[in-house]
Chains A and B, each alone.
Chain A
Amino acid sequence: MAATLAPTLAPPRLLPSGDSAVTVEFSRTIDDAANQRVLALDRALTESGIEGVIEAVPTYRSLLVHYDPGRIGFDALGDKLLALASQPQPPTAKARRWRIPVAYGGEHGIDLEDVAKTLNTTPDDIVARHVAGDYRVAMIGFTPGWSYLSGLEKSLHMSRRQNPRLLTPAGTIAIGGVQTGVQCLAGPSGWHLLGRTPVRTYQLHRNPTFLTEPGDRVTFFAVDHKTFAEQDRAAEAGKIIAELTES
């Protein structure tokens, strides 16, 4: 009774996003396979050098392609994008892997205890589960450097806060829904705050300005609050705190 379903590689949908952009949608839900196809199309599009394409923005489930309608029209570009999306995916290049320190709990992770209570466990256990995860940068969006990670363990999936906070600190590491992420700049968030990292995924006068790329792998490790304070000062001065390896 093990009738295997053929892998469904349905063609993506082309959604008009005004006269100068088109959304290539692979899925309506957060879906790892769809995200892989988004990132593959993103790479293929970069390599294709299609005339008139300005930039592309990968997300969990779609690729938004900005273009100049004076150089290519919606129909012509749409055909090219669908053709690229139907090509077999080239084997992915070696992923870059970031190891990111996090000061969990206390003033840096004000929701850690509540999350533990909600999930009937201890804060230490939540931290253990969070650092055990092997994550991928599914997309970067909303504000500079905010890296949305896929791969959060099922037991940590939680609905977002009823009342989003208007201001959460720079470097916040949080969970929300089926996602976790690194929020680089201070700003509003409806996620649950587990900790803070000294790592700046975006820092204006540093080279590189942006650390993470969509498709990068990420793991977290816990540091104490004193180490956080030291690393935070070094990071502020432009030092790159995250460890980078290829895997």
Chain B
Amino acid sequence: MSRLIVASIGPASSVQDGGRPGSQRYGLTPSGAMDRLALATANCLVGNELFAAVVEIGPFGASFTARDGAVRVAIAGAPRNADIAGKPVANETSVTLRDGETLTLGFARGGAFSYLAIEGAIRGEPVFGSLAVNARAGLGSPYPRPLQAGDEFSVAAATGGPEQRIELPKPPSGPIRVVLGPQDDEFDDANKTLFLSSDWKISATSDRMGYRLEGPVIKHLHGHNIVSDGTVNGSIQVPGNGAPIVLMMDRGTSGGYPKIATVISADLGRLAQTSAGTAFRFTAISMAEAQDEARKFAQLLRGLPDRLRAADTVELNIEALHDANVAGHAVNAVDAATWQTPAEP
């Protein structure tokens, strides 16, 4: 067994995984990683199950030291500078810390959350099948609270396998997509249009419970009190002051404010990674489109292992080059997988 010591860490950092659905009828929210794609990416890079427990790191810096043996890790999510003893470490690439070495991460350069996956995954005592920290309910493991300097994880000794990188598709850009409802009829057309045509910014007071939005005041048709009903990740509720709040992974399971729309599941991680103060917009899509996007997103997650490449191959993102219309239909000569003609189905 090796250990990974949290040498330093900022606020809003905790152990998270795929979450614990199944007990919402008792008021227990599922929690789990704010950016599921980044969670799955980090885990994939070190050969873990996609939704295994990792360290979710908030926007500030952090550092981790290996003890009693080597520890293999990977970071994904919000881009940040990373180094081991001054030698740069790429994001979305696995790296092995030798005994005594420290991985130092800088502030998030854009985005908010990064995910540090450890080969063999973080161990602990699952509560309802998950290690995810829910600080308000006092649960999560091995630490049922945000992480602090000095915390440590018992982890598998690094297997010494070849380091890997991953080729992710270009992330979607454009507005955050929503499906209107469940209470869009509590708002008139002018206020729905205002919601969908305005620039919004995420307030600095946002957290894992909810992202408070700054922008125009959205007015209700019949006041702001409804009889409480259930909430989902991405519910956009509008309280009395007219400033919408997007409910995130540590939301209350029920709420008494009208919900004008719901962020589609494929875009929730993208919203979670929108920096405070960056302007963005919402756009409404149909239920059929939203469900299509949800299925495509699930497919992307399942297919992540097929996107792994040996870390020492030249780092060329063909899809990104193609999108930028730089490479035409050129291929990456260094990576055999990209120049073998795929078999016709």
- The reply to whether B27 and A18 form a contact with Cβ atoms under 8 Å apart is no
- The reply to whether B27 and A145 form a contact with Cβ atoms under 8 Å apart is yes
Across the interface, B27 reaches (CB within 8 A) one of A30, A64, A141, namely A141
Distance in Å: Cβ of A10 to nearest Cβ of chain B = 16
The contact size tier of chain A is 35 or more
- The reply to whether B230 and A69 form a contact with Cβ atoms under 8 Å apart is no
Residues of A within 8 A of B231 (CB): 64
Across the interface, B287 reaches (CB within 8 A) one of A19, A187, A204, namely A19
Known: A16-B287, A69-B295, A74-B287. A142 touches B252 (CB 8 A): yes
Across the interface, B254 reaches (CB within 8 A) one of A17, A59, A73, namely A59
Residues of B within 8 A of A228 (CB): none
Q: Which chain A residues (58-86) contact chain B, with CB distance < 8 Å?
A: 58-64, 66, 69-70, 73-74
Of A20-28, A90-98, A108-116, A235-243, the stretch lying at the interface with chain B is: A20-28
Q: Which chain B residues (7-57) contact chain A, with CB distance < 8 Å?
A: 21-28
Closest to A22 in B: B182
Across the interface, A69 reaches (CB within 8 A) one of B25, B228, B233, B291, namely B291
- The reply to whether A61 and B27 form a contact with Cβ atoms under 8 Å apart is no
**Is A194 in contact with chain B by the CB < 8 A criterion?**
no
**Is B85 in contact with chain A by the CB < 8 A criterion?**
no
Residues of B within 8 A of A58 (CB): 25
- What string of 1s and 0s marks CB contacts (under 8 Å) between B284-302 and chain A? 0001101101110010000
A108 to B66, CA, bound (A): 49
Residues of B within 8 A of A54 (CB): 21-22
**Is B227 in contact with chain A by the CB < 8 A criterion?**
yes
A55 to B129, CA, bound (A): 15
Distance in Å: Cβ of A138 to nearest Cβ of chain B = 10
Across the interface, B294 reaches (CB within 8 A) one of A20, A143, A184, A210, namely A20
Residues of B within 8 A of A148 (CB): 228
Residues of B within 8 A of A202 (CB): 26-28, 137
Residues of A within 8 A of B26 (CB): 140, 144-145, 202, 209-210
- The reply to whether A55 and B25 form a contact with Cβ atoms under 8 Å apart is yes
Distance in Å: Cβ of A211 to nearest Cβ of chain B = 9
A17 to B232, CA, bound (A): 7
**Is A156 in contact with chain B by the CB < 8 A criterion?**
no
A144 to B295, CA, bound (A): 31
**Is B89 in contact with chain A by the CB < 8 A criterion?**
no
**Is B6 in contact with chain A by the CB < 8 A criterion?**
no
- What string of 1s and 0s marks CB contacts (under 8 Å) between A30-73 and chain B? 10000000000010000000000011111111111010011001
**Is B179 in contact with chain A by the CB < 8 A criterion?**
yes
- The reply to whether A204 and B138 form a contact with Cβ atoms under 8 Å apart is yes
Residues of B within 8 A of A62 (CB): 229-230
Of B262-270, B315-323, B327-335, the stretch lying at the interface with chain A is: B262-270
Number of interface residues of B (CB under 8 A): 47
- The reply to whether A70 and B298 form a contact with Cβ atoms under 8 Å apart is yes
Distance in Å: Cβ of A79 to nearest Cβ of chain B = 14
- A-B contacts, CB under 8 A, total: 147
**Is A152 in contact with chain B by the CB < 8 A criterion?**
no
Closest to B293 in A: A19
Distance in Å: Cβ of A53 to nearest Cβ of chain B = 11
Distance in Å: Cβ of A69 to nearest Cβ of chain B = 4
Residues of A within 8 A of B255 (CB): 142
Q: Which chain B residues (236-256) contact chain A, with CB distance < 8 Å?
A: 252-255
- The reply to whether A210 and B23 form a contact with Cβ atoms under 8 Å apart is yes
Known: A56-B25, A144-B26. A23 touches B291 (CB 8 A): no
Residues of B within 8 A of A20 (CB): 232, 265, 294
- The reply to whether B264 and A18 form a contact with Cβ atoms under 8 Å apart is yes
**Is A29 in contact with chain B by the CB < 8 A criterion?**
yes
Residues of A within 8 A of B128 (CB): 209
A39 to B288, CA, bound (A): 29
- The reply to whether B182 and A17 form a contact with Cβ atoms under 8 Å apart is yes
Residues of B within 8 A of A143 (CB): 27, 136-137, 252
Chain A CB count within 10 A is highest, among B183, B230, B233, B265, for B230
Distance in Å: Cβ of B31 to nearest Cβ of chain A = 11
Known: A18-B179, A19-B264, A145-B27. A185 touches B226 (CB 8 A): no
Binding site for B on A (CB under 8 A): 15-21, 23, 25, 27-30, 42, 54-64, 66, 69-70, 73-74, 139-146, 148, 184-185, 187, 202, 204, 209-210, 214
Q: In the complex, given contacts A139-B254, A214-B25, what are 15 additional A-B residue pairs having Cβ atoms less than 8 angstroms apart?
A: A17-B232, A18-B235, A19-B265, A23-B182, A30-B227, A62-B230, A69-B294, A74-B288, A140-B26, A141-B253, A142-B252, A202-B27, A204-B139, A209-B26, A209-B128
* Cβ contacts A to B, 21 pairs, < 8 Å: A15-B181, A16-B182, A18-B235, A19-B179, A19-B262, A19-B264, A20-B232, A23-B230, A29-B227, A55-B21, A60-B229, A66-B21, A139-B254, A141-B254, A142-B252, A142-B255, A143-B252, A185-B138, A202-B137, A204-B138, A209-B128
